[in-house]
Amino acid sequence: MDQRLQQYEDKMRKATDYLEADLATVRAGRANPHVLDKVRVDYYGTPTPLQQVGNVTVPEARLIQIAPWDKTLIKAICKAIMASDVGITPSDDGSVIRLVFPEVTEERRKELVKDVKKKGEEAKVAIRNIRRDGNDAFKKLAKEEVSEDEIKQLEDELQKLTDKFVKEVDGLVEAKSKDIMTV
């Protein structure tokens, strides 16, 4: 692949990777430990990822269990979960924290699918912006004695990359939407 195209492919890859990580945090009725990925616990004055202060397990389809390694952290973990956008109230018994996921209504599922599609559209816009930046950069190459044919070829290759990543985004959105609508 042309070196000039590589940087744009890398940027498009980052946009799809970001979308994939973002979609993993959308909860679809089943307990998914990834909804806690963004939760940070105040651990001796340092915001620490929840996975680094305890064991996160999914013993049942709609239950996440957190067993902190340091029992004094239970209140801090509960506080961090409440402050996050997880939307579930934690309950603890002094040694383990439980998050019970309620059954998601049909209406809420449709809202989540809309949200997922919106995130997908934002990723596509980011990819198209990268394509635009690339095309602008290629047009500037004309001043550096690069042939019009070569510039046209670079633009065509960039368009193919854009189409490939847009299709990938559509696939991610479709898969997540299907996952959300599955009862």
Summarize pLDDT for 24-49 with one digit per residue, the tens: 877 666 777 777 888 888 888 888 88
With CA atoms as reference, report the closest residue to 93 among 74, 76, 80.
74
The answer as to CATH 3.30.1360.40 being correct for domain 33-100 is yes
- Cβ contact 25:34 at 8 Å: yes
With CA atoms as reference, report the closest residue to 34 among 43, 42, 22, 46.
22
Domains of the chain, by residue range, sit at: 3-25+105-181, 33-100
The Cα-based distances of 114 to 21, 108, 174, 180 in angstroms read 17, 10, 11, 11
Burial class (CB in 10 A: 0-12, 13-18, 19+), 64: buried
3-25+105-181 and 33-100: same fold? no
Task: Calculate mean pLDDT across residues 54-76.
Answer: 86
Confidence bin at 168 (pLDDT 50/70/90): very high
- Cβ contact 18:123 at 8 Å: yes
Confidence bin at 1 (pLDDT 50/70/90): low
- State residue 102's pLDDT score: 78
Per-residue pLDDT reduced to its tens digit, 122-160:
999 999 999 999 999 888 887 777 788 888 888 999 999
- Cβ contact 115:26 at 8 Å: yes
- pTM greater than 0.75: no
Classify domain 3-25+105-181 by CATH number. 1.10.132.20
- Cβ contact 131:162 at 8 Å: yes
Strands 91-92 and 97-100: what pairing? antiparallel
